[in-house]
Structure 1
């Protein structure tokens, strides 16, 4: 049977349950004559009578009863599932997948999302800790976190943190042994703690800028890692000069275990942004996550039907 006849079957089930063409027509939002023609057409195609009509009532024939038992509950199941989908649309639920780095997860994402997760237990957030430039569409992520100037132009990007300044640092003991670099080019003569980014396949040059002049320096050293998490500890241990956003070194700079150099070569640049495809239709769960990461409190967010 062709798919368009499902409407005819639904019309039959409704009439059989209501026991009346008048009530069934009102329920379906059609005229009584149109409904009668639909049932007659269905019986004609099946070549069997499905309903017994009297002046007072309508009831299924034995064939109609058999058809009711076979398909009636299936329409109920479809209606229940559609109701569930509507509830899913209106009630924040489901999994939001985000690819990000260690530091931003610890300092921004978890602190801001914790109130949302406690308030909405049906929301789950999966974090992919990754320093590669993941293709969030191909890898089926809902969003990613990057510095604003590295986000692709076809993405929607929302700032979730202030501007960032890089910092070149090392321990006082390291500088006592090796002296301090006075300009970025001096770094080639120092031990530097570097990061190998998965997408690049190798270590990237360190970028510096002063009064519009940009310098890229390829450094070397005894220690290379693939995330930033252990870089501050390596620098504190005296293994070389490290170069990361200054907030990642903040506790060690405050207590004197690390010392900054080349500070005038480290300008401000765009901070962390959450980005997602421009064609994406946000779910209620994703909208809550996005608003929380923008810094909105739960009290300021739109309330959803639960």
Structure 2
């Protein structure tokens, strides 16, 4: 039997169960003549008479009854499985793959999504910690997290965190033998830690702004990292000046283990956003992730 004839079997089952072409046609939403023609075609292709027709009723033949008994439980099983799958709309499930930086993961994403795991055990989260910019479509991610200024224009973007800034810090031991900073250009004469972008391989240029004046400084130093936590550790040990997210070093500044410089030059970035193509937004599990991350404005 050709694959397209399986629909004919479903129509036969409707007639056999309703024992009426009229009622079966109404149930299927087709005309009675179309239904009658389809059953005749099925009988011809199988070479077996399946139904006995009278002016008042329709009954299955012996062969037709055997076919009905074989089809009915299998169709019911398929319908039950489809119904179970539809329950995922109420019990979201699936794997969500995210690409994001270590700072975005620890400062914004993980604190918000940790509770989701407990509330929705059928949702699986896969995090790819990468400080570079990834093409989420080509690389097979459901979404990415990055600063608002870096999100592609053709993506849907939802703000998930407040503005934040990078600050220049070094240990008291470092400044005990090196002059303090008064201007961003002073960094050129210091041992600074570079941050290499994972994708593309370029070094991050330190950005500053004050009273409308923007300054970009290409720093030099002995150390280059691609993760912020290693930079903080190196700064604490006196290896030079690091330019890192402020929330990572606030307690070290408060304790005196690090000294913050150029405070009035350090500008704020427009927070983190989760971004994704429009085709993802209708999936129940994905919607839960986005809603959990969404920034609640004060």
Partner of 1:82: 82
Measure the CA separation in 2 of the matches of 1:234 and 1:187: 17
Measure the CA separation in 2 of the matches of 1:39 and 1:281: 43
- The normalised TM-score by structure 2 is 0.88
Alignment of 1:71-150 (within 5 A): 74-150=74-150
Are residues 44 and 258 of structure 1, via their aligned partners in 2, closer, same or farther at CA, if it must alter by over 3 Å? same
Question: Is the 1:16–1:60 Cα contact (8 Å) retained in structure 2?
Answer: no
- The normalised TM-score by structure 1 is 0.86
The range that moved more, 155-164 or 42-51, is: 42-51
SS at 2:98 equivalent: strand
Partner of 1:204: 204
SS at 1:221 equivalent: coil
Measure the CA separation in 1 of the matches of 2:69 and 2:128: 49
* Deviation of the 1:20 alpha carbon: 4.8
SS at 1:249 equivalent: helix
User: Quick check: 1:61 aligned with 2:55?
Assistant: no
Unaligned runs of 5+ in 2: none
Partner of 2:227: 227
The range that moved more, 32-41 or 249-258, is: 32-41
* Deviation of the 1:34 alpha carbon: 4.6
* Deviation of the 1:115 alpha carbon: 2.5
Question: Is the 1:112–1:295 Cα contact (8 Å) retained in structure 2?
Answer: no
Alignment of 1:227-306 (within 5 A): 227-295=227-295
Measure the CA separation in 2 of the matches of 1:115 and 1:57: 59
For each residue in 1:186-208, what CA deviation from the matched residue of structure 2 results, as whole angstroms up to 9, or x when unmatched?
Answer: 21211112221111213221112
Partner of 1:182: 182
Measure the CA separation in 1 of the matches of 2:61 and 2:174: 92
* Deviation of the 1:255 alpha carbon: 1.0
Backbone CA RMSD of aligned residues: 2.5
Partner of 1:171: 171
* Deviation of the 1:145 alpha carbon: 0.9
Partner of 2:5: 5
Partner of 1:303: none
User: Quick check: 1:28 aligned with 2:28?
Assistant: yes
* Deviation of the 1:67 alpha carbon: 4.7
